[in-house]
A and B are shown apart, each in its own frame.
Chain A
Amino acid sequence: MLGLGIESTAHTFSCAIIEKKGKKGKILSDIRKIYRPAVGEGIHPREASRHHIENSSFVLSDCLKEANTSIKDLDIISYSAGPGLGPCLRVGAVVARSLSSFYNIPIYPINHAIGHIELGKLLTGASNPLVLLVSGGHTMLLAFLNKQWRVFGETLDITLGQLLDQFGRSIGFASPCGKNIEELASTSSNYVTLPYSVKGNDVSFSGLLSATKNVAKKSKVDACYSLQETAFAMISEAVERALSFTQKRELMIVGGVAANKRLSEMLKDVCKRHNCKFFVVPLRYAGDCGSQICWTGLLESQVKSGSPLKDTFVTQSWRLDTVKVNY
């Protein structure tokens, strides 16, 4: 079975083609174009959607070319229907709807966050993990129970990705800033005390953001180091709490911040203590990509026929714990 997945929730416009045989999936192509805001600025939804519109046809044709296939060979088309930025989501949805109606191919609206998890499971081989989803849009601890992903802990305000990006922009980096902060942090070992806020299995980052900005006025390097140490220790503690509560034997991290090496290192140590297997999604597929949407669509197509065009909406706010998973 051959699927096309279209991702356009935020800064990335991406198309991917995956061939599914039984439970196995082979990524034939995954092409992306990423909108880069100016230094010190965040994503401007209108500018990002313009970027997606301008790039969509090139990304699609490159994707088909690399997979050595044509639209007529596709069995299904899936697109990210939320959560995300409305103007950006609409671009992917329009492309998907046009292809679906013109070529008469079944269409599947997909929850972007579920996509991160399913692609992670495909690529890492984790079978029943506690999932840490850390990105610009999410900071959540999840476990699967009774056909739904259940939230065992999450951020009460901003996400880990937002924390890093907003702080990074305040000291003059361009979004996404995670990599720059990690590089700068590795040159310091001077820990400045920052607010540490774990509430049960939940975390709160907003106070930490303000405090770190103050520290940066004296030393950017120490601020980066202390920010990473504090925020990642909070996440690690929440993970430990959720692991000990759910008694899961696997931990999988997915989402853009999964690319951070210091975070992985800390979580590896957590897993060692709890005698639990550690999985991290490969770097290339940590961030937003068409593959996550494509693979989830292929999974859904096992149990559902495509959606009627009139139901192919986008939803800016769509929590993943409301999605029923029947495959």
Chain B
Amino acid sequence: MKLIKKGAEADIYQTKWQNSKAILKIRKVKNYRNSSLDSKIRKQRTIKESQMISYARTFGIPTPLVYFVNLEKSFIIMQEIPGTPIHDLSESKIIKLSKEIGKLVGMLHKNGIMHGDLTTSNFILFKNMVYVIDFGLSQNTIKPEDHAVDLRLIKEILNSAHAKIMQYAWNNFLLGYKSVVGTSYNTKITKLVSDIENRGRYAKVI
């Protein structure tokens, strides 16, 4: 097996599943973590991720197919999406695709899923389609606050990693998001996003 990426919490290998290329995502033991906390986190996230990847497909979100799950060793074998992470695309493409990302996030929220880790590396462009990956931190939730936390995270990422194009990308994201969730829900969520931002350290000028 070839190691493709050492991610934050898992290692990604290229492997084979029934003669076709596949990805093995394994959450290895982290020695720095207390062992009972560690095994709990690894198991929980493996379950969540495999469930949510499959569930999101049922309402039309492009995600990898899950082939096999091993809870004991906490790994998942899934379809390989051999495209490019949005993070690595040109600035003009990121701006353009932000609308599509907004739509996808809107669909997730509308169906009661919070992704939990909305960064530009977790969307992959392949054959003109944007795939959503990495559901390890996702949750079943219809709480507007949770949905707002999702939006705040992608806003933070745009504001840091893509600072130059932040405003354009964010506006496009919201356009896409609004087109799915509707104007009134969109207004509600963006209001909550600024509430969360204002709770941040030293954000409000007193």
Contacts and interface: CB of A to CB of B under 8 A. Distances in A.
Interface of A: 82-83, 137-140, 143, 145-146, 148, 150-157, 159, 191, 193, 196, 198-202, 229-230, 233, 236-237, 240-241, 243-246, 265-267, 269-270, 273-274, 315-319
Which 5 pairs, one residue from A and one from B, show the smallest C-beta to C-beta distance?
A: A150-B160, A269-B32, A200-B153, A241-B8, A266-B32
A233 B116 CA distance: 18
Contact of B201 (A137, A199, A267): A137
A200 B161 contact: no
Contact of B199 (A146, A157, A319): A157
Contacts of A273: 6
Interface stretch (B17-25, B34-42, B49-57): B34-42
14 contacts: A143-B160, A151-B156, A154-B201, A191-B36, A199-B116, A200-B153, A229-B37, A233-B37, A244-B6, A245-B121, A245-B157, A245-B161, A269-B31, A316-B202
The number of chain B residues touching the other chain, given as a range, is 35 or more
A266 B33 CA distance: 8
A156 B195 CA distance: 11
A236 to B, nearest CB: 6
B132 interface: no
Interface string B134-166: 000100000000000100010011011101100
| Secondary structure class of chain A's binding surface, majority of residues | mixed
A202 B153 contact: yes
B194 to A, nearest CB: 14
Contacts of B204: 317
B89 interface: no
A243 B156 contact: no
Given A244-B8, A319-B202, A236 B32 contact: yes
Contact of A151 (B31, B149, B160, B205): B160
Interface string B101-134: 0000000000000001111010000000000000
A115 to B, nearest CB: 14
B32 A230 contact: no
A243 B202 CA distance: 25
Given A140-B201, A191-B34, 11 more contacts: A146-B164, A151-B160, A155-B201, A156-B199, A200-B137, A200-B153, A230-B37, A241-B8, A244-B8, A245-B87, A319-B200
A317 B204 CA distance: 7
A315 B205 contact: yes
Nearest to A139: B201
Contacts of A156: 149, 196, 199-200
A91 to B, nearest CB: 18
